[in-house]
């Protein structure tokens, strides 16, 4: 991959990731603060809603950090120090902006440089933006499927849901 190709790919992928951010934020905001409700898990092997919300945020921020740093160092999920969903969303908003700004400042050479992903993959840094997006979308889908069981509403994501009409905010995040 050339530096020019990597820069183009970064700019293209970041546009979509920024649009997905709005949908992810709305799903996180729909998770109730009530511990009895957000401890919901559809199966004993599943994460609870609260754990899944934290996993989405933490993983996305760690992916962006690894891409920006040129090395992945995440070995275990960092502890959740937020006491409610508003704090988690604030942490997500701040970390997301920082991560995107750092990735946007990378040179084409940095974006094209391979990064080892724990001995499993060794792709150019920019390719891991697809991992970031796909991982978030996957777990956001899981979390959105929990919402009604917690007496919450499912926000519009890619179109209207049974609970929310599609609006320009839902379409653009």
Q: What pTM, to 2 d.p., does this model score?
A: 0.90
Low pLDDT (below 50) residues in the chain: none
3-state SS class at 121 = strand
Domain ranges of the chain: 3-172
Over residues 96-134, the pLDDT tens digits come to 999 999 999 999 999 999 999 988 999 999 999 999 999
Q: Which two tokens stand for residue 49?
A: 């809603």
In degrees, rounded to 5, the angle at the alpha carbon of residue 19 between the alpha carbons of residues 4 and 102 is 50
Longest dimension (CA), the chain: 51
Q: Taking a C-beta distance cutoff of 8 angstroms, is the pair 103, 67 a contact?
A: yes
Fold classified for 3-172 = 1.20.120
């Amino acid at each position: 991959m050339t530096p020019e190709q990597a820069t183009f790919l970064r700019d293209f992928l970041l546009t979509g990731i920024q649009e997905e951010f709005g949908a992810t934020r709305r799903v996180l905001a729909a998770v109730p603060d009530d511990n009895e409700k957000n401890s919901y898990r559809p199966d004993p092997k599943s994460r609870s809603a609260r754990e899944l919300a934290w996993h989405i945020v933490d993983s996305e921020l760690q992916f962006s950090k690894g891409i920006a740093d040129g090395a992945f160092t995440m070995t275990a999920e960092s502890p959740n120090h937020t006491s409610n969903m508003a704090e988690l969303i604030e942490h997500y908003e701040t970390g997301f902006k920082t991560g995107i700004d750092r990735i946007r400042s990378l040179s084409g050479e940095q974006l094209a440089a391979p990064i080892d992903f724990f001995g499993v993959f060794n792709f150019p840094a920019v390719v891991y933006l697809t991992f970031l997006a796909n991982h978030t979308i996957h777990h956001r889908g899981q979390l959105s499927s929990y919402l009604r069981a917690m007496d919450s509403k499912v926000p519009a994501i890619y179109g209207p849901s049974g609970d929310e009409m599609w609006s320009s905010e839902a379409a653009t995040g």
